Structures are given as C-alpha cells and as structure tokens.
Amino acid sequence: MATDESVVRRYYLFRATNAAGFYLPISVLYLLDQGFGLGFVALVQATFSLAMLAAEIPSGYLGDRIGRRASLAVGNLLRAAGMAGYAFVDTPAGFVAMQAVWATGWAFRSGTGDAWLYELLARTCDDDEFARIKGRGSTVLLLTSAVTAIAGGLLYGVAHELPFLLSATLAVSGVPVLYTFPSVRVADEDADAFTVREAVRMLRVQASRESVRWLVAYVALFYGLFGLARMVEQPALDALGVPAAGLGVVFAAFKLVSAGAASTAGWFEERLGARGVLGLLVPVFAVAFVLGALFPVFLVPTFFLYRSARSVVQPVQNQYLNDRLADVGRATVLSGVSMVLSLSSGLLKLALGGIAEQLGPLAFLPRAGAALVVVASLLWILTRPVRSGGGTTAVSGGGAAASD
C-alpha cells in the first residue's frame, strides 16, 4: 500500500504539539528555587510516574472504547491543565496534585498514541512502516523540543512561570490537529463489545507470554534508570557550573542528538532487529557508568546517551509488541506495558531519592546506574527477553489464545 504523505505530515505536526521543551530544562530548578530539596523533587517525579501507573489501564481502556482521537484529545487538555496549574501553585500538596493531573494526561497518550498510529497506518498506509514513521515523528518532536528548550531557558530568567504557560498553550493547539485525521476503528466487528473483563483477561494472557513478559521486565530496568537520570541531571549540570540560561542550550542539544538517534530507529530495527538493539543496552551503559564513576564530567555525554538510546529503543520495543497484539485491546495492553514502566521509574525514585540527596547527583548516578546494569545483564542471560516469532493474541467470549 502506498504511503499517504498527507496523513504522515499531519501526524508529524501533531507530534510537534507534544513537545516538552519549554519547561524541560528548568522543571527541577523551579522546585529547587521554591526552596525544596532533591528529596522532594524525587517525591514529585515519583508522583508523576505512579499517577501514570494509576491512569494507564483506564486511559488505555477508554482509548479502545471511545476512540483514539477523543482519548488523545483528553490527554492533551489534561496535560495543559497540569502545566498551567504548575505556574500558580506554591505548596507541596499543590505541586503533587499538578503532577498527578499532568501525568494523567500523559497516560492518555502513552498506550493509545501507539495503537492509534499503528491502526491509522494500517488503514491509510502500511503498518510495516510503524517503526520508521514513529521514529521520524519522534525526531520532529525532539527538534521542536530543542527549539523550545532554548526559549524556555531564556524565558525562565524573565518570569519563572512562562515556560509552563507556553507548554500548556502548545498542548491545547494539538487538539484541532487531531480532528483532521480520519476516524480509526478496530477491525474486529465485535470491538464495541470489548468489556472490562475482557481487558483484564487480555492483560493476564499477555503477561503469561514469555516473549512479552520478560521483554517488559528488561526494558523496565532501563526506564527506571532513565527516570533516575532525569531526576538528577539538572542539579548535576548545575554542580558542574552550567547556569540556568545555559541549561536551555544544553537541553536543546539533548533534543537534537536524540532527534538524530530517533530518525535511525527504523534503520536499527531493520539491520539488528529488536534483539540486537536491546541487547546493546547493557554493554553500552556499563562502559558509560564506569567512566562516570571515575570522571564525573563523563556524566554529561551519558545524559546524551540515555536520551538517544530511549529514542531508538521505544519505537523498536513497540514494533515488537504491536506485532504480537491483535487490534482489539491493543491500546489496553500497551497501556499495561506503560504502567509497568511507570511503576519501575516511580518506585526507584521513591526508594533512592533520599540516597541521591545524601550522595549528591554526581556520586549517586554512576552507582545506581551500575547496579541496574548488572541486574539487566543477569535478566538478559537467564530469561532471553527478546524472542523471534510470536503470533498475535485474541480475546473472545470463549477465551484467549496466545502463541510464542
């Protein structure tokens, strides 16, 4: 099937409205400037992860029930509300509440967004193009975030609240773009009968499949690592002497490098496959954290590395999962995966936030990273998390079937 370039271009435009650049380089500094410590930063960021956890299944289920576009529109509006609210609260409870609203909005995008793109391509283009188009869409998102990150760092010096208000405005602008796309319905004629019981059954079936279960467990370790790095990178850069305005430039560079990496996702998936791409994570990060422990300045390229790795891994990981899922319940299952990843990130932040505050960001990250890489290497050897083959899984009134 020929690719509908108009649909692809509009998808890229929608991805641009999800850019996080305005607030990204100053979100942690904003809390520190309000008089909070790194321990509270860990609590706030853990709240984000755990609120996403609580919202993932309901948001994915709604994506399967009310339609992908409506679910994504709700997500954009909730994210806008959380970001705008962040600029006006000044109490610990207020910041925690805004993080919960913000996270709920992200949850509406996580599983539903990939299911929507996969099915949109199946209807208008070619679902085999998912990894390539998803990767290029991430490139657009990252480039937009790079430009807005520079602006956010500069605007923070004008008024601390401006980056959050502009982020909210950008999120709202994505809603009308969504409604330029054709409606996507699941192919199964019984999709309207997809019930909560069948959603739970689908999740149970997928969790029983080794080709899915161990992949999610393995990737969750690295998502936890990414979460810890995001928690400490702004204070780490501050400790290395980077000023607030300079953080915007640094984060723009993060996004540009990540954009280049995201554009290669399809290339890596075609040449190395999911097993080759995911298998490289252990040796690459092992070297990075050894160097970071010996020479703290090497944490700066490590920040570039983990962001780039995530940009490549996410579309490859989701292509692997999508190829093993049926249309009915796809968003619910992908939301279940995001739920596990959010849980991993949130629990690690809660468990290690106090230690990070005691050790300081430059000493904490190499130690935490090395420990997680060791666990990931053992999981890779013992469970073989990425497997070839594996058919789709369907849930019906008579039961569920899975193959590995």
**Tens digit of pLDDT for each residue in 49-91?**
788 777 766 776 776 677 778 888 989 999 999 999 988 998 9
Helices 330-359 + 299-322 axis angle, to 10: 160
What pLDDT does 113 receive?
79
8 A C-beta contact, residue 277 and residue 56: no
What pLDDT does 164 receive?
93
Q: Which of 350, 123, 342, 145 is nearest to 258 (CA)?
A: 145
CATH topology of domain 19-181+192-386: Growth Hormone; Chain: A; (1.20.1250)
Decide which of 327 and 174 is more confident: 174
Mean pLDDT, residues 27-36 taken together: 88
What residues contact residue 10 under an 8 Å CB cut-off, 6+ apart? Answer: 177, 180, 181
Decide which of 220 and 395 is more confident: 220
Residue 193 has pLDDT above 50, yes or no: no
Residue matched to tokens 């994210």: 79
Mean pLDDT, residues 7-29 taken together: 88
Residue 343 has pLDDT above 50, yes or no: yes
Residue 168 has pLDDT above 90, yes or no: yes
Helices 330-359 + 210-239 axis angle, to 10: 40
Average pLDDT over the chain, rounded to an integer? 80
Rg (CA), the chain: 20
Spatial distance between the Cα atoms of 49 and 338, rounded to a whole number of angstroms: 10
Decide which of 32 and 2 is more confident: 32
Task: pLDDT band for 177, please (50, 70, 90 cuts).
Answer: very high
Q: Look at residue 101 and give its three-state secondary structure.
A: helix
Q: Which helix (H) or strand (E) holds 337?
A: helix 330-359
Task: pLDDT band for 190, please (50, 70, 90 cuts).
Answer: very low
Long-range contacts of 292-298 (CB under 8 A, 24+ apart): 292/365, 292/366, 292/369, 293/366, 293/367, 293/370, 296/240, 296/362, 296/363, 297/240
Q: Which of 9-13, 117-121, 129-133 has the highest mean pLDDT?
A: 9-13
Decide which of 342 and 355 is more confident: 355
Residue 227 has pLDDT above 80, yes or no: yes
- What's the pTM value of the predicted model, to 2 decimals? 0.68
What pLDDT does 326 receive?
58
What pLDDT does 401 receive?
45
Residue 390 has pLDDT above 70, yes or no: no
What pLDDT does 283 receive?
92
8 A C-beta contact, residue 356 and residue 38: yes
Spatial distance between the Cα atoms of 222 and 376, rounded to a whole number of angstroms: 8
Mean pLDDT, residues 224-233 taken together: 86
Alpha carbon 386 to its chain's center:
20
